[in-house]
């Protein structure tokens, strides 16, 4: 399935003699930059046609083999095996409870974006229904930051296009990764070893196919750590470089643990390290410090525009991060059978994300395969966990850096930047060095003083945006939530 996914190509929208377009970089760029609904629909449908049908039977076989392996490891099925690392029989209930706390914020940004997209695209976006998934700037509608420019709360304020700025300043792939390394070093974490620079693959090779989905690798010899990334000069890849290097920092911090404990406290911790640093990097304060933001002024409108763009990544991701394994847990437990794979997927996509396919789908399609983690058997709830705990970590390191104080409105959480603060870095380091040697509640307590996942830090970070969205949606009399989709998935049997 990985080979099918990594080599799949489609033909161009307006020229079907060009048929060598791959997911990265071509289709990713089209979904991000095209404003032509027909072209977006073409790319969205053709990608799924190129991967889904070819993976469907393989996936059924994979489910049986994976469950057999789980049983041989004394688990009931793969779902139980995947959840084992969270060491808590109540884990799924905790996730559901976190989602219930976060859903009101999601409903507000969803309603606002649907209203804006309707202004731009007209009736292809209904007033009260789910949002068509192909118009949101991303192949899976899991992050909407690429459609920020016609959604900004204050559109007449300066246009901060970091991708354009990176290119204008002749950022190279190497400079992107050196900039990321510089941040980690500045808080007393570790520089990348020389072998990292010699052995990593940071650009798509010209001479051969390669799995371009970014990844970070620990070779478990305490010395060899690498990143593989088909890096483009974009803001998304700048953030991804920090994400991948966050994995490497964690590898290095726990490298002296026994091999058994050279893992994240749970998988969500591993996903949170790089994103935690990116929360500082993406603040206007930091972007100005490293010269990526020219303007001097930080008036409330510019700050809200920036917070909104971060929300299009972080708030928007939550329902997707949840539904990916809600679908797979049911598949592994046999609650979703092969003939229901696709229509149950679209039920969940509508129920949690409030998105719909641009064209009707059938049970003969297999749209989950359009997402790397499904065909590569990579669990996904780790990202939902990460998107919650990274804000708990951020709140803790920002307090240590004196950059955040719950009682001081002049130090809001969303303007914190821990750059060059070694107290913050040392506190983070103490947690990372534990690896998986202690239950994760002990690990999170070391840094935050809490022993549970807690949505309050994310809600605190986005509080100004939440308030603004509620006011704006009320002013525009926008319908909050979504009615049943007119599109969806049809059982052909």
Ligand X SMILES: CC(=O)N[C@@H](CC(=O)O)C(=O)NC[C@H](CC1(C(=O)N[C@@H](Cc2ccc(O)cc2)C(=O)O)CCCC1)C(=O)O
Residues catalogued as catalytic: 244, 373
Integer CA distances (angstroms), 221 to 178, 202, 216, 255, 265, in order: 23, 21, 15, 8, 20
Cα-based torsion angle of the residue sequence 465, 474, 119, 46 in order, rounded to the nearest 10 degrees: 60
User: Of 215 and 452, which has the nearer Cβ to ligand X?
Assistant: 215
CA 327, 375, 319, 358 dihedral sign is negative
Q: How many chain residues interact with ligand X (CB under 6 A)? A: 14
The C-alpha atoms of residue 2 and residue 29 are separated, in whole angstroms, by 21
User: Of 187 and 216, which has the nearer Cβ to ligand X?
Assistant: 216
Stretch of 130-138, 154-162, 213-221, 301-309 contacting ligand X, by CB under 6 A: 213-221
- Residue 400 touches ligand X, criterion: CB under 6 A: no
User: Of 256 and 297, which has the nearer Cβ to ligand X?
Assistant: 256
383 binds, among Zn ion, ligand X, none (CB under 5 to 8 A by kind): ligand X
Stretch of 80-88, 154-162, 243-251, 336-344 contacting ligand X, by CB under 6 A: 243-251
350 binds, among Zn ion, ligand X, none (CB under 5 to 8 A by kind): none
Q: What tokens does 25 get?
A: 């970089």
Q: What tokens does 493 get?
A: 């049997």
- Residue 218 touches Zn ion, criterion: CB under 5 A: no
Give the bridge partners for 10, in sequence order: 21
Q: How many chain residues interact with Zn ion (CB under 5 A)? A: 1
Do 259 and 389 contact (CB within 8 A), yes or no? no
The C-alpha atoms of residue 280 and residue 383 are separated, in whole angstroms, by 19
> Can you tell me whether residue 282 is helix, strand or coil?
coil
Do 30 and 43 contact (CB within 8 A), yes or no? yes
- Residue 377 touches ligand X, criterion: CB under 6 A: no
Q: What tokens does 317 get?
A: 């991701």
CA angle 97/390/303 to nearest 5° reads 105
Determine phi and psi for 154, rounding to 5 degrees. -125, 80
Stretch of 82-90, 115-123, 239-247, 466-474 contacting ligand X, by CB under 6 A: 239-247
Q: Which of 24, 271, 275, 325 binds Zn ion (CB under 5 A)?
A: 271
Q: Which of 40, 79, 176, 216 binds ligand X (CB under 6 A)?
A: 216
261 binds, among ligand X, Zn ion, none (CB under 5 to 8 A by kind): none
User: Of 134 and 243, which has the nearer Cβ to ligand X?
Assistant: 243
Shortest Å distance, C-beta 430 to ligand X = 20
Binding mask 136-155 for Zn ion (x = CB under 5 A): --------------------
Q: Which of 49, 195, 215, 360 binds ligand X (CB under 6 A)?
A: 215
Q: Which of 42, 247, 255, 286 binds ligand X (CB under 6 A)?
A: 247
The C-alpha atoms of residue 421 and residue 454 are separated, in whole angstroms, by 25
CB burial of 101-119 (b: ≥16 within 10 Å; e: otherwise) equals: ebbebbbbbbbbbbbbbbe
Residues that bind ligand X (CB under 6 A): 142, 213-217, 240, 243-244, 247, 270-271, 275, 383
Residues that bind Zn ion (CB under 5 A): 271
């Amino acid at each position: 399935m990985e080979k099918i996914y990594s080599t799949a190509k489609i033909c161009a929208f307006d020229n079907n003699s060009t048929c060598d377009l791959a997911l990265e970089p071509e289709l990713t760029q089209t979904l991000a930059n095209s404003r032509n609904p027909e072209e977006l629909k073409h790319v969205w449908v053709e990608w799924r046609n190129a991967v889904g049908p070819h993976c469907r039977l393989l996936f059924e076989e994979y489910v049986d083999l994976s469950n057999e392996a789980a049983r041989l490891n004394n688990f009931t099925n793969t779902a139980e095996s995947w959840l084992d690392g969270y060491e808590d029989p109540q884990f799924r209930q905790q996730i559901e409870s976190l989602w219930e706390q976060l859903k009101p914020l999601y409903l507000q940004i969803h309603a606002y974006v649907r209203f804006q997209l309707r202004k731009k695209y007209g009736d292809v976006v209904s007033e009260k229904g789910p949002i068509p998934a192909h118009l949101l700037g991303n192949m899976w509608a899991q992050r909407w930051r690429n459609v920020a420019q016609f959604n900004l709360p204050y559109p007449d304020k300066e246009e901060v296009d970091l991708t354009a700025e990176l290119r204008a300043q002749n950022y190279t792939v190497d400079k992107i990764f050196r900039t990321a390394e510089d941040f980690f070093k500045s808080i007393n974490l570790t520089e990348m070893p020389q072998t990292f620079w010699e052995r990593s693959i940071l650009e798509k090779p010209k001479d051969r196919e390669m799995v371009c989905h970014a990844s970070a690798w620990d070779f478990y010899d305490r010395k060899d750590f690498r990143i593989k990334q088909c890096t483009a000069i974009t803001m998304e890849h700048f953030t991804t470089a920090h994400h991948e290097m966050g994995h490497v920092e964690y590898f290095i911090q726990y490298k002296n643990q026994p091999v058994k404990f050279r893992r994240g406290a749970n998988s969500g911790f591993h996903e949170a390290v790089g994103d935690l640093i990116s929360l500082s990097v993406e603040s206007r304060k930091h972007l100005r410090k490293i010269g990526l933001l020219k303007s001097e002024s930080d008036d409330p409108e510019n700050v809200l525009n920036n917070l909104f763009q971060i929300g299009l990544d972080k708030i928007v991701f939550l329902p997707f991060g949840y539904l990916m394994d809600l679908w797979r847990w049911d598949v592994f437990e046999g609650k979703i059978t092969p003939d229901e794979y696709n229509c149950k997927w679209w039920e969940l996509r509508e129920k949690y994300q409030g998105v719909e396919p641009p064209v009707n789908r059938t049970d003969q399609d297999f749209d989950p395969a359009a997402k790397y983690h499904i065909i590569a058997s990579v669990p996904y709830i780790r990202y939902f966990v990460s998107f919650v705990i990274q804000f708990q970590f951020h709140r803790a390191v920002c307090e240590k850096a004196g950059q955040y104080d719950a009682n001081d409105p002049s130090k809001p959480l969303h303007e914190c930047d821990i750059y060059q603060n070694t107290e913050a870095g040392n506190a983070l380091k103490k947690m990372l060095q534990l690896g998986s040697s202690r239950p994760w509640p002990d690990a999170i307590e070391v840094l935050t003083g809490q022993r549970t996942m807690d949505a309050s830090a994310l809600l605190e970070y986005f509080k100004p945006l939440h308030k603004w969205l509620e006011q704006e949606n009320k002013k525009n009399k926008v319908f909050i939530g979504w009615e049943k989709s007119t599109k969806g998935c049809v059982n052909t049997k």
